[in-house]
Structure 1
Amino acid sequence: MLTDMNNQVFFCDYYKQWVDVYKKGAIREATMSKYLMSQKWIKKLAPELKLSELTRTAYQKLLNDYAKEHERQTTLDFHHQLKGAILDAVDEGMLERDPTRKAIIKGKTPRAKKIKYLNQFELHTLIANLDIKEEANWDWFILLVAKTGMRFSEALAITPADFDFSRQTLSISKTWDYKGEGGFLPTKNKSSVRKIQIDWQIVVKFSELVKGLPDDKPIFVGKSKIYNSTVNDILTRHCKKCGISEISIHGLRHTHASLLLFAGVSIASVARRLGHASMTTTQKTYLHIIQELENKDVDLVMRTLSGL
């Protein structure tokens, strides 16, 4: 009887139930949204595929159909999410074999992604153009991200208590749930929990700004919902006014990292400051900059050896 019932279960329904049971409330909302998106794609691509019919060929066809509209890395993420549910189905005896074994991951050729960031002169021009008032506004926010390289959600979660002005440090230990209902959330990963050094200008300006503000309340979060696009629009207007490259708030994070790398700061130090899980992430993200620096190093080596 149980086998007969299993034969009638659609894979999209099984996956939906699996997400509800094993993932709901156990993972970050942003991650949960990816599982739900995968669920929609299964229903779109294979609405009548039964769990009992999930052979290696059927699974590969599902991956191939998904890959027609997505890049390889996105297809790989899709595969990993589906595989978690399928392996549980095997453990429960609902499938005899693992159909995901030896799956081939395909995908559209990724478009060349050029990271947008400002050079030192442009950043200096932008900061000089900011309207830093007595009370916190989004120009203060832009200044802080430019000087620290924080992620958008990390900067939103900063409270007065996170500053240690005597030691010139800023503690990053949480994020703000701006995509959901608001409130504090954990950081992206363990490496994202960090203390970073802040320069004396930030110390002077923010020590004045936070006077009288509640220690445990976010500096930049008010009563209304916050949208990433709102702050990006403000930054874009500043860029246009200054006649510099137009970038996003995330582009400020890239700007921060790029300037440090060009200044000779080690990849390891930049990775720690950005809260990257490993130096590999930093190296992949800023490969073009690292290659430029290596070319400069070659010139320096040659000049040094020529002078011997």
Structure 2
Amino acid sequence: MLNDLSGNDLFCNYYKEWISVYKENAVRQVTLNKYHLAHTWIERLAPDVKLSELDRISYQRILNGYAKEHERQTTMDFHHLLKGAVLDAVDDGLIPRDPTRKAIVKGKPPRPKKNRYLNQFELHRLLAGLDLGSEISWEWFILLVAKTGLRFSEALAITPSDFDFTRQTLSVNKTWDYKNGGGFVPTKNRSSVRKVQIDWQLIVQFSVLVKNLPDECPIFVREDAKVYNSTANNTLARLCKKSGVPVITIHGLRHTHASLLLFAGVSIASVAKRLGHASMNTTEKTYLHIIQELENKDVDLVMRSLTSLV
């Protein structure tokens, strides 16, 4: 246990035990996996560094070693995964002084960014080219995500009982653990539990589609079959090429949904609630470029309005 460790113990061993004590059963599995991966990197970059030897220089060397193979933002995430454990060790007197203070985060130049979202006309072309038959398919999945902005795991977990066809809403209260063999698991955060309003056309389509399906079984997951994000993304990529629009991912459909709402004048607060963001800050950070573009349009509108008063 952590109480039995001293400054002479290895930092990599301390970090492993710290994960076990503070993070297991406290964070989602996907987040826990990130901590375990960070531990693997510590074993690789600083296998012999003791807690008492972890000063600013040795910590910076760990970050520099990680940065050689990762972009700056990824290195920043790695730094944050380590910092909590390091500060706990400082508080416990295992490390003399905070080695993370004034740490410099470096990294490889970012790769060219892929298209993150489609504009309204491109989305219309994509959806118009979907082959929506009478059976559940990835193309129905693509339509649902495009019109609701659900996360991939949220959409996978949708069951017939989640639809309220009378009130035209879709309940999001769980996700599908596709990375770990399947099964329902909690949503990303409490704000992710929500009711998403859906249009009457989607209501009619899905009321027919799910009519004879088991109420509590996920619509898009076949029994005893694993689901892969890559399968859905490959299907979407093929359909994008077929429609002559930029290739995006399933998560890009979520960005597309949010972007169209913002351009339509929907408030940031409403978009954040619809997407299940924990706070508006997340929405503002993710869609800053769109918000700035809208602000520029607002300035132009104000100036035209003022000019007309002369």
TM-score, with normalisation over the residues of structure 1? 0.90
- Superposed, which structure 2 residues align to 1:204-283 within 5 Å? 204-222=204-222, 223-283=224-284
Q: How does 1:87-106 map to 2 (within 5 A)?
A: 87-90=87-90, 95=94, 97-100=96-99, 102-106=101-105
Aligned partners of 1:12 and 1:42 also within 8 Å: yes
SS in 1 for 2:16: helix
- Give the residue type in structure 1 aligned to 2:307: S
Alignment partners' CA distance in 2, 1:25 and 1:5: 22
Q: Aligned partners of 2:239, 2:47: CA distance in 1, in Å?
A: 48
User: Mean alpha-carbon deviation: is it higher for 82-91 or for 188-197?
Assistant: 82-91
RMSD of equivalent CA atoms: 2.3
Amino acid at match of 1:228: N
Tell me by how many angstroms 1:114 deviates: 5.8
Structure 1 residues 21 and 283, CA gap change in structure 2 (3 angstroms): closer
Q: Shift in Å at residue 41 of structure 1?
A: 0.8
Which shifted more, 292-301 or 107-116?
Answer: 107-116
Distance 1:96 1:32 in 2: 24
Q: Does the Cα contact within 8 Å between 2:115 and 2:248 map onto a contact in 1? A: no
User: In structure 2, do the counterparts of structure 1 residues 7 and 251 end up closer, same or farther at CA, with 3 Å as the change threshold?
Assistant: closer
Whole-Å separation in 2 of the counterparts to 1:96 and 1:270: 44
1:60–1:103 Cα contact (<8 Å) kept: no
- Higher mean alpha-carbon deviation, 125-134 vs 196-205, is at 125-134
Cα separation, 1, equivalents of 2:285 and 2:89: 36
Moved more, 201-210 or 109-118: 109-118
Q: Cα deviation per residue 1:252-296 (whole Å; 9 max; x = unaligned)?
A: 111111111111111111111111112222122112212221222
8 Å CA contact retained: 2:75, 2:107:
no
Name the % identity: 67
For residue 167 of structure 1, what is the aligned residue in structure 2?
Answer: 167
State the shift of 1:191 in Å.
Answer: 1.3
> Could you say if the C-alpha distance between residues 279 and 109 of structure 1 is closer, same or farther in structure 2, counting changes exceeding 3 Å?
farther
2:194 match: 194
Q: Is the Cα contact below 8 Å between 1:75 and 1:105 reproduced in 2? A: no
Quick check: 182-191 or 62-71, which moved more? 62-71
Q: How does 1:1-308 map to 2 (within 5 A)?
A: 6=6, 9-90=9-90, 95=94, 97-100=96-99, 102-108=101-107, 111=110, 113=113, 115-222=115-222, 223-308=224-309
Per mean C-alpha deviation after superposition, the further-off stretch among 122-131 and 163-172 is: 122-131
Distance across 2 between alignment mates of 1:56 and 1:196: 48
Quote the Cα distance in structure 1 between the aligned partners of 2:47 and 2:247. Answer: 43
In structure 2, the gaps of 5 or more residues are none
Q: Offset of 1:68 from its aligned partner? A: 3.8
Distance 1:57 1:214 in 2: 59
Q: Is the 8 A contact 1:168 1:198 kept in 2?
A: yes
TM-fit CA distance, 1:46: 0.8
TM-score (norm 2): 0.90
Q: Equivalents in 2 of 1:92, 1:104: separation in Å?
A: 21
CA distance in 2, matches of 1:293, 1:217: 41
**Hey, what's the Cα distance between the residues in 2 that align with 1:227 and 1:96?**
43
Q: Distance in 2 between matches of 1:7 and 1:293?
A: 54
Q: Residues of 2 paired with 1:294 and 1:300: CA distance?
A: 10
Further displaced range: 279-288 or 139-148:
279-288
Q: By how many angstroms is 1:42 displaced? A: 0.5
Shift of 1:88: 4.2
Judging changes above 3 Å, is the alpha-carbon distance between structure 1 residues 9 and 126 closer, same or farther for their aligned structure 2 residues? Answer: same
Determine the C-alpha separation between the residues in 2 that align with 1:26 and 1:285: 26
